[in-house]
Chains A and B, each alone.
Chain A
């Protein structure tokens, strides 16, 4: 506890970087996964390829992905971009299936009703299908958020500073305090991100609360 109080500024700055490294891939992943999921949901041939293919990305250990990124991207080995892009890959891997699940869960009757009302193509997707898929997508996003927070810390093995640096520093000196503080800070970050996603989901899906209240 005293260690934590003595190092508030350090923990705070590492926490900020950690949050940045976890959240940016989450948003990028979401932006990429929605069109991919839309494609997979509509196309019978692409669906298994995209869902299984992106799922396979998960069998790549994160450490390997971090290390190999510079070879693929031509970035420097200490570039935080390696972490951001590796985590974006994971987020996409997780969210494509969720987006497909979410879009598939939109009742056919709703879709037909929208078509009957003359709402076509892109407009139907953005105003009817995607909003109705939000609860399922949001559940996947929550898992991705928590998993990103955990995976970011592994980048400390490569000298990219964030909360995981407290783990490597504490370990090298046989000193539990920084490690425990780092774990707690990760947990706090996970909880905050989770609450944020839940909050945004509520705002985006007012009918869910209305229905459960009724």
Chain B
């Protein structure tokens, strides 16, 4: 361990020298938020988040703000520390899910309580701007065959059979309040096994289709739900609550220009348009940045 550290320090010193001597092609913005006039928009590790980051970045650019993006950072558990220490300054979030992340006891039953919970739980340095009407919820989905076999309509219907079924979801679901834990405490479900997959991506879709898992976490805007005929189970006890898309920003950088630009996006964004945009990226394989630009132009935001 000690050798690593010595080497690392030496390397760091050497890097500092080379970095001073040459122009750094990374052109990465200052890692601290201090005095940096560039705003860094981050995203989580799934396409919709990346798309929303591009939309926010485009809207800010159109108002003359200097912006860079750092997409696909990882899970909420990964990017929130980066948001707190100023490595990123804007992140597209979901009201209920983020509130539950910050406070496991947060009440997220509807849009208003979710937003209130989020604002109450948010650290001092961050500010949540206006939420949009667009909602993308976590969900528990099953194949049509599984739904028919066990007569499943809502998540609670899984109770008698859960012990024979394998649940799939992103790895972080194992520890999240609105994941495996919540399914147990809110719906009393204990599955035979939890299989860590990806963030509602191709692993999850494949695992559901070929029977590695019988129930899995998908996002409600996911085009694969329709394409593969998956059944999204109702959530009458509001485990996943209201999850409206909302920009969360470093408070010290939330100037009137920034706030106005991002709130204007929230006004125009609704669930259907979000789902359409996601389909363009995931199904039609268009670039998130291009889809974002086109939408901003069409809405008169860029």
Q: Which residues of A contact B (CB under 8 A)?
A: 3, 7, 16-17, 20, 24-25, 27-28, 31-32, 53-54, 57, 69, 72-73, 75-81, 84-85, 88-89, 92, 156-159, 161, 165, 168-169, 171-175, 177
Contact = CB atoms under 8 A, between A and B. Distances in A.
B71 A17 contact: no
Contacts of B285: 3, 173, 175, 177
B12 A73 contact: yes
Contacts of B31: 75-76, 78-79
B25 A16 contact: yes
B82 A77 contact: yes
Contacts of B24: 20
A172 B46 contact: yes
B8 A159 contact: no
Nearest to B1: A72
A84 B282 contact: no
Interface of B: 3-5, 7-8, 10-12, 14-15, 18, 24-26, 28, 31-32, 42, 45-47, 50, 70-74, 78-79, 81-82, 85, 87-88, 198-199, 201-202, 205, 281-282, 285, 287
B119 to A, nearest CB: 26
A89 B10 CA distance: 10
B15 A72 contact: no
B87 A168 contact: no
Nearest to A175: B285
Contacts of B15: 24, 28, 81, 84-85
22 contacts: A17-B25, A20-B24, A25-B11, A28-B11, A28-B14, A72-B4, A75-B31, A77-B78, A79-B87, A84-B11, A89-B8, A92-B7, A159-B42, A159-B71, A159-B74, A159-B78, A168-B72, A169-B50, A172-B202, A173-B285, A174-B202, A175-B285
